[in-house]
Amino acid sequence: CEKGGTSVDDPELSTVPIEFSLADFSAEVKGNALTSSTIADFGVFSLLENTTLGETTPFMENVEVSKSTSGNSTAWRSDPPYYWPLLPDKRLTFFAYAPYNGAENSSSIYYDGNDRQWKMDVKHNVPENPVQQVDLSVARNLEPKTINDAGEPVDLRFSHALSSVTFAANYKGTPAENCVLRVTGISLSNIVTSGTLTVDSTQEEGTPWFSWAIDESEKGMITMTTFNDALTKRYNVPERNSNNDNHLTLLATDINAYMIPQSVNSDIEGDVSGKSILSLTFSYFLLDSESAGGLKEIAQFSTQMLLPESEWGIASKIKYVFTIDLDNVWLADLKVLADGNIDVWEDSENSHQETIIK
């Protein structure tokens, strides 16, 4: 039999499919950040309110929606389509998340008896290599919609939900003769890599409508190995200048590492066990015309340092900069950029979120 609101033979349903449109949704970051033009699909939950009976029940439950290939080319719909309830006393409200990941993220919608409101949960795990992770965004439309609104797509405005974290380096000291310096590996340990994003139905002015719940015991290690493309000709870590402002960004120029928002080393003065640590591997490459690419790796070094106290806010871009001290094989001047240097995702419903790095 047909599922839920997808049966055209259901006498309680119209023959008008539910369609969606995306409000302008852009970002000041490159690559794998979601925008209204790069979202390929999203998951939708909807609630059906029967105003006559005073009952609310789920109507669409984690339904994949993608760009329609027929009819209105700018609209989005599910396949098979869901249809509008026929009677105007049946009202729908909507929650959504992107990108769609129905099987793995265990998304759900439920009624929270304590808060007396419906909520959507999206469980999220950061891959071991976060450069494989695309942006995660959520949306909702709580204005009740009925068959009388079926002539227009349901408008969704997505908000970014993760933190974008990157690193940049320069060096001081004396490199090996006829060699260039390159970072060949970065890892973060004791970082929260899983959490549950909850979107609620509160409509109070200025009140955050989604939040993260994280378990500090679920900390893990994140490894980053994708660095600037050779075409940028910026592989080589530069020597520190007198102003210490010439750091090389280490992740590829079209990649952002999307992480669970969290407080990093908020009590850094205490016991260092369990604290978040940056580990770095760097190598000397000998200029050698007979080797592939004209370079030959001749030595590799590793070092690590505690991350400074910092806040990974929702929809904030956090950038750590440091100097590789070649003579002592350690990291110097590891710091997080101040709030004036943060790129914050624009034009979404993130205005209520923190954008200042502490």
Ordered per-residue pLDDT tens for the chain, 358 residues: 344 566 656 778 999 999 998 876 554 443 456 665 667 889 999 999 999 999 999 999 999 999 876 655 568 999 999 999 999 999 999 999 988 886 555 789 999 998 889 999 999 888 887 777 778 889 999 999 999 999 899 999 888 899 888 899 999 999 999 999 999 889 999 999 999 999 998 877 777 899 999 988 889 999 887 777 655 556 799 999 999 989 988 887 667 788 999 999 887 666 667 899 999 999 999 988 888 778 888 999 999 999 999 999 888 888 899 999 999 999 999 998 744 333 444 444 443 333 332 2
Q: Which of these, 40, 194, 43, 196, lies nearest to 130 by C-alpha position?
A: 194
CA dist., res. 89 & res. 92, Å (int) = 10
Q: Which of these, 129, 98, 115, 124, lies nearest to 251 by C-alpha position?
A: 129
CA dist., res. 48 & res. 145, Å (int) = 10
CA dist., res. 204 & res. 295, Å (int) = 60
Q: Which amino acid is present at 69?
A: T
Tell me how crowded residue 149 is: count the other CB atoms within 10 A of its CB: 16
Q: Which residues contact 326 (CB under 8 A, 6 or more apart)?
A: 171, 172, 173, 174, 175, 181
Beta bridge partners of 299: 284
Chain centroid to CA 227: how far? Answer: 19
CA dist., res. 320 & res. 337, Å (int) = 6
Helix (H), strand (E) at residue 302: strand 295-306
Q: What DSSP designation does 184 have?
A: E
| Number of helices followed by number of strands (H, E) in the chain | 0, 25
Instruction: Identify whether the C-beta of residue 72 lies closer than 8 Å to the C-beta of residue 17.
Output: no
Instruction: Identify whether the C-beta of residue 134 lies closer than 8 Å to the C-beta of residue 32.
Output: yes
| C-alpha torsion sign, points 92, 96, 102, 107 | negative
CA dist., res. 6 & res. 83, Å (int) = 6
3-state DSSP assignment of residue 218: helix
Instruction: Identify whether the C-beta of residue 158 lies closer than 8 Å to the C-beta of residue 231.
Output: no
